[in-house]
Chains A and B, each alone.
Chain A
Amino acid sequence: MRLQKATRCALYAVLELASEPDRQMSANEIAEKYGISTNHLAKVLRNLGREGLVEAVRGAGGGYRFAGNPKRTTLLDVIRLFETVETVSSGEREPGDETPEGKALSQVIEEIEATERATLNSISLATMLKLVGRHGAA
């Protein structure tokens, strides 16, 4: 699985902000830390704001603050805001789907997708922050 650029930006932003929920950070600061484009990130942050995961702080300094529930927001919740985590069974019909070969192929791909979903859906932002800690975050 390869995450789209916007999804990666969003995950970095929510993890960064959720790691210190009282702190506000500008798009610039976050972009710099992760080496991503500020423009791109600004758009992503507005999206996250509409979904209630972050909030824009007005006034001096400005910036963004985490506004979600880190224990109840999973990686899948965030990813789904930016890309469709589509499954073979819910996706468009492809040529050959009804052949035995097509069905066997779908069965194998569904097995992979089910594991992927279970992984992303069981890791909350809070759990993810612990994992970040184990990788030696500053």
Chain B
Amino acid sequence: MLSMNGYHLGIMSLTDHKIGQDFIIRIAKADDVPAVVAMDEAVTGLAKPDYWQDIFDRYGGRRRGRYFLVADHEGTMVGFIIGEVRAWEFGSPPCGWVFTLSVDDKLRLGGIGTALFQAVCDAFRKYGVTKVRTTVARDNDLVMSFFRSQGMMASSFLQLEIDVAS
């Protein structure tokens, strides 16, 4: 384990033999942004270079409480996760908040998502928060199953919404 920026970056072995190589989890660099844009476009169908550049500007590099981590397989970005420590509402202590996670669809089910999530959880733990939260569309079975497999349970906070358009 290497320690950088106050949290560990692990070197993991893929359990899936599709790659049969190691990948590393590291902090995102400026030149990862085009690959992040492309991966997001593959999932959502929309290219949002300005959005991702802005996210990189706010979360990339070494920052305390903000983590933009990527999985790197032989120099290729194969997955990323972004999270931050948020002062939590209504008198609860700050928590880790994961708001984006994506793995190259050709390399899924090989443990990359788990490694990214564990790395960001390690970072949160080092920061000193004890709770990690995220939000998932109720009908997104894939992402929901993934977070469940990591041991996440429904939170005691419910998200509420209202249409305010006239």
Contacts and interface: CB of A to CB of B under 8 A. Distances in A.
Interface stretch (A36-44, A51-59, A96-104, A124-132): A124-132
Nearest to A122: B144
Contacts of A115: 138, 154
Contacts of A138: none
Contacts of B144: 118, 121-122
A115 B137 CA distance: 11
B139 A127 contact: no
Contacts of B145: 74, 122-124, 127
A98 B114 CA distance: 47
B148 interface: yes
A87 interface: no
Contacts, number: 29
A118 B139 contact: yes
Interface string B17-48: 00000000000000000000000000000000
A74 B147 CA distance: 14
A115 B139 CA distance: 9
Nearest to A130: B151
B166 interface: no
A119 interface: yes
Contacts of A127: 145, 148-149, 151
B141 interface: yes
Contacts of A126: 149
A134 B152 CA distance: 12
B152 to A, nearest CB: 10
Contact of B138 (A74, A114, A130): A114
B141 A121 contact: yes
Contact of A123 (B138, B139, B148): B148
A74 B141 CA distance: 11
A127 B141 CA distance: 14
A127 B145 CA distance: 9
19 contacts: A74-B145, A114-B138, A115-B138, A118-B138, A118-B144, A121-B141, A121-B144, A122-B141, A122-B144, A122-B147, A122-B148, A123-B145, A123-B148, A124-B148, A124-B149, A126-B149, A127-B145, A127-B148, A134-B151
Interface of B: 138-139, 141, 144-145, 147-149, 151, 154
